[in-house]
Amino acid sequence: MGYRLTNARLIIFLIVIVIICVYFYQTASFESQFESISIISTTVIPNTTTTTITNRKVRKPTLDFAELAQQLRDYAVTRDKDLEKILFPWWLNFKNETNSKRYFNESDPSKGIVICTGNKHFPLTLVALSALQLIENELPIEVMYSTATDLSLENQKELKTRFPTVDLIDLSAATFNDSYLELRGWEIKPFAVLASRYRHVILMDSDVLFLEKPSILLSNSFYLKTGSLFFYDRVDFDGRAIQWIRTLIIDDKKQSIPTRTQESGVVVIDKARTLIGLLSTCKLNDHHEREIVTYQRLHGDKDTWWLGYHIVQLSYSFIPTFTGSIGEIVNRGQSNVVCGHILHLDEHSRPIWWNGGTFANRYFDLTLLKIQGWLYEGHWNLAKISCLTNAQDKPKEFNQHQQKLIQGYIQATKQFFHLTK
């Protein structure tokens, strides 16, 4: 009897061990489907509710972008309030219709420049503001950031001291619920345009320098036609990106998909005429959308601008000329070569602005670029310092006014980056 009882106890013990092992195996398998991420007040589209989760394991959300694109098109037609709350829960101004309509009225003539900044790009922002003074810019300026973590109190104070007429705006405090968006990089740009108190907005990156007054863009015929103005980058789309984009849009004969990517260093938007397109672009840069899909398929915010408009079937304009190069004229035998940064031209092939500042490549060091001339697009050789070759066109020199501006920009760079040479 004792032997049998011992065997029974042993069997029971083994059964318990097996049950425990199975339990821990299933738990480990289940948890492997989750990843540890920290999220605060996130929204998942479609058919979801808002959740607040901090530092615990949550299932990585998935997004049906084709369905999201259809929702955006539906909203463009119906302006349905329920759909509005689902798509744009972060826009606090929706709670105050008087405030939200203020800057989107076609009778509003207001115009201004918006620059987004943070601690990392703060010296470049000071250079950009100084450059706008040098070119005698007459438009008011808003500099935007999101939370004191993005732009320190010390930097905020310095900007206001040096440029007291510039409006400094914290988007997280004034307009948007940052717990949804967590705006800390490229993604802040379309939201900054939306939040601007101006109807006509020229958005410029902090490393952009103009060779003409920015205000000329507001009278450009392409901008007047559609209420938006975009510029091309120097890179063509790859086939996979085009294939993905085609899953989001409705083919129509009004506007074809661009074959070249967009450079979003300067974007011009009329919010009264194209608000739906801007909201669509914002949605592509929303927190989950950008982290899970958009920025996996595209390079940051760049092509979300035209794509946001295209999804909701709203016309938009690109300057029809491609890029040029601004920088050092290099003698390579029969070849015409200029090494430096991307130069953007108007529809008459006149240089307007470039991005990259006056450094040769600030991501490597603070060596200043030799800015001797410019060349219209031919073949790009992308490297630490990219070079443009054009066998059909010779490098062009800058006129006296442009040379004076460039020298002023170099001096501003030396001042704010504390360079002695």
Tokens of 241: 């990106």
Structure-token match 């998942």, residue found: 44
Structure-token match 């302006």, residue found: 79
Strand partners, 374: 326, 396
Strand partners, 380: 388
CB 304 within 8 A of CB 298: yes
Positive or negative CA dihedral for 417, 189, 295, 226? negative
Tell me how crowded residue 70 is: count the other CB atoms within 10 A of its CB: 15
The answer to whether domain 65-311 has CATH 3.30.420 is no
CA distance 226 to 327: 33
Q: Running DSSP on this structure, what letter comes out for residue 59? A: P
Q: Express each pLDDT in 219-271 by its tens digit.
A: 999 999 999 999 999 999 988 999 999 999 887 666 789 989 999 999 999 99
Q: Express each pLDDT in 113-167 by its tens digit.
A: 999 999 999 999 999 999 999 999 999 999 999 988 999 999 999 999 999 999 9
CA distance 64 to 293: 9
| Strand-pair category, 351-355 with 35-42 | unpaired
CA distance 208 to 202: 12
Tokens of 228: 């938006």
Domain boundaries, the chain: 18-58, 65-311, 324-416
Dihedral (Cα; 361, 363, 367, 369), 10-degree rounding? 20
CA distance 253 to 246: 14
Positive or negative CA dihedral for 412, 154, 150, 197? negative
Q: Which of 38, 35, 58 is nearest to 48 (CA)?
A: 58
Please provide the size of the chain in residues: 421
Q: pTM of the predicted model, to two decimals?
A: 0.83
Q: Express each pLDDT in 10-61 by its tens digit.
A: 666 677 676 665 544 444 433 333 232 222 222 222 332 222 323 333 334 4
pLDDT > 70 in the chain, percent: 81
